[in-house]
Chains A and B, each alone.
Chain A
Amino acid sequence: MKIYLTISLICLTVSVSSQQQLGKAEREAYKETDPARLSFLLTKSCSTQTEKVKAIFYWITGNIAYYRPVAKNRKAKNKTVFFEQEELDDKALPSLTDRVATKVLQEKTAVCEGYARLFKSLCEYAGIRAEIITGYARTDANKANANFRSNHSWNAVYIDNSWFLLDVTWASGYIAMPSGDFVKYYDSGYFLSSPAKFIQHHYPDDTRWTLLPETPVLGEFRYMPYRQRSYSKYSITSYLPSKGIIEAVVGIPFVLNFNWTWSGGRLWRFHPILYQSC
Chain B
Amino acid sequence: MEISPDSLSELLVQQAVPSYVYIKPVAVNGARVTYDFPVDNEHTQWLYVMYNEDVLLRYKLNIRKTKESIAAN
A residues in contact (CB < 8 Å) with B: 131, 205-209, 215, 217, 221, 225-228, 230-231, 233-234, 236-237, 239, 241, 244-261, 267-268, 270-278
A244–B60 CB distance below 8 A: yes
A-B contact pairs, 27 of them (CB 8 A): A208-B8, A221-B60, A231-B56, A234-B54, A234-B56, A241-B59, A246-B60, A247-B64, A248-B37, A250-B66, A251-B39, A251-B40, A251-B68, A252-B39, A254-B37, A254-B39, A255-B34, A256-B36, A258-B32, A258-B49, A270-B52, A272-B51, A274-B20, A274-B21, A274-B49, A275-B47, A277-B44
* Least Cβ–Cβ distance between A74 and chain B, in angstroms: 27
* Residue of B whose beta carbon sits closest to that of A132: B8
CA distance A16 to B26 in the complex (A): 78
* Chain B residues proximal to chain A, CB less than 8 Å: 5-6, 8-9, 13, 17, 19-25, 28, 30-52, 54-66, 68-69
With A206-B8, A275-B47, A277-B45 already in contact, the answer to whether A253 and B38 are too (CB < 8 A) is yes
Determine the residue in chain B with the shortest Cβ distance to A268.
B51
* B contact residues around A228 at 8 Å (CB): 54-58
Give min CB distance, A150 to chain B, whole Å: 10
Complex Cα distance A270/B22, Å? 11
Supposing A250-B39, A254-B39 touch, asked if A225 and B58 sit within 8 A by C-beta, the answer is yes
**Would you give the shortest CB distance from A136 to chain B, in whole angstroms?**
10
A260 touching B31, Cβ below 8 Å: yes
